[in-house]
C-alpha cells in the first residue's frame, strides 16, 4: 500500500468522529484552535469552492524550527500544504471526507464542519501533528 493510502487510512480511522462539541468553525477559528494544540497552520489564498463548500482556502504547515529534514530519497519534503474546506454543517464535511476517502490518494481530516486535505508530498511529521491536534479538539 502506498504511503499516502496508509496515512489516509490512519487519519480517517482516527478522525471520523470529528470534534465532539458540535461546534461549527470558520476557517480562522479552526486554524486558531489547532494552532493552540501545538500545530503551525497558516491560511493562504482563497481557492475556488465547490458547489457545497461555503469556502475553500489554501493552507500550509511550515516545518517547525529544528524539525529534521526528511531522509534522502524519501517521499515528501519538510512541512505540508493543502486545502481547508468550510461547510455549513458537519453533514457537508462528512460528504467531502467520503469523497476524499474514495480518491484514496490525498490525506483527509475532518473536524465538525471543516475538512483539511493535505497533499501527498506533505511531511509525515506534519500529517501526524495535524492528526493529533484534531484528536485533541475532538476530546476537548
79-127 pLDDT, tens digit per residue, is 899 999 999 998 989 988 888 888 766 689 999 999 999 998 888 888 9
- pLDDT band (50, 70, 90) for residue 75: low
Q: What is the pLDDT of residue 30?
A: 96
Q: In what order do the strands lie in the sheet with 107-111?
A: 42-47, 55-61, 80-86, 114-118, 107-111
Rounded to 5 degrees, what are φ and ψ at 33? -70, -45
Q: Are 117 and 82 in contact (CB under 8 A)?
A: yes
Pairing assessment for the beta strands 107-111 and 114-118 based on DSSP bridges: antiparallel
Per-residue cell: 115: 475538512
Q: Contact, 105 vs 4, CB < 8 A?
A: yes
89's CB contacts (< 8 A; 6+ apart) are: 24, 113
Say which residue, 68 or 92, is predicted with more confidence.
Answer: 92
- Higher-pLDDT residue of 50 and 109 is 109
For residue 134, is it left (φ>0), alpha (ψ between -120 and 50) or beta?
A: alpha
Q: Could you tell me the pLDDT band of residue 74, with boundaries at 50, 70 and 90? A: low
Amino acid at each position: 500500500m502506498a504511503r499516502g493510502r496508509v496515512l489516509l487510512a490512519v487519519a480517517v480511522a482516527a478522525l471520523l468522529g470529528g470534534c465532539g462539541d458540535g461546534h461549527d468553525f470558520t476557517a480562522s477559528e479552526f486554524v486558531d484552535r489547532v494552532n493552540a494544540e501545538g500545530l503551525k497552520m497558516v491560511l493562504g489564498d482563497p481557492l475556488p469552492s465547490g458547489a457545497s463548500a461555503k469556502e475553500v482556502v489554501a493552507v500550509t504547515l511550515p516545518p517547525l524550527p529544528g524539525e529534521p529534514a526528511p531522509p534522502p530519497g524519501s517521499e515528501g519534503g519538510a512541512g505540508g500544504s493543502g486545502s481547508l474546506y468550510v461547510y455549513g454543517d458537519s453533514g457537508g464535511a462528512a460528504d467531502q471526507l467520503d469523497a476524499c476517502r474514495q480518491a484514496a490518494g490525498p490525506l483527509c481530516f475532518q473536524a465538525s464542519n471543516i475538512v483539511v486535505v493535505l497533499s501527498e508530498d506533505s511531511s509525515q511529521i506534519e500529517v501526524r501533528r495535524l492528526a493529533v491536534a484534531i484528536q485533541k479538539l475532538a476530546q476537548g
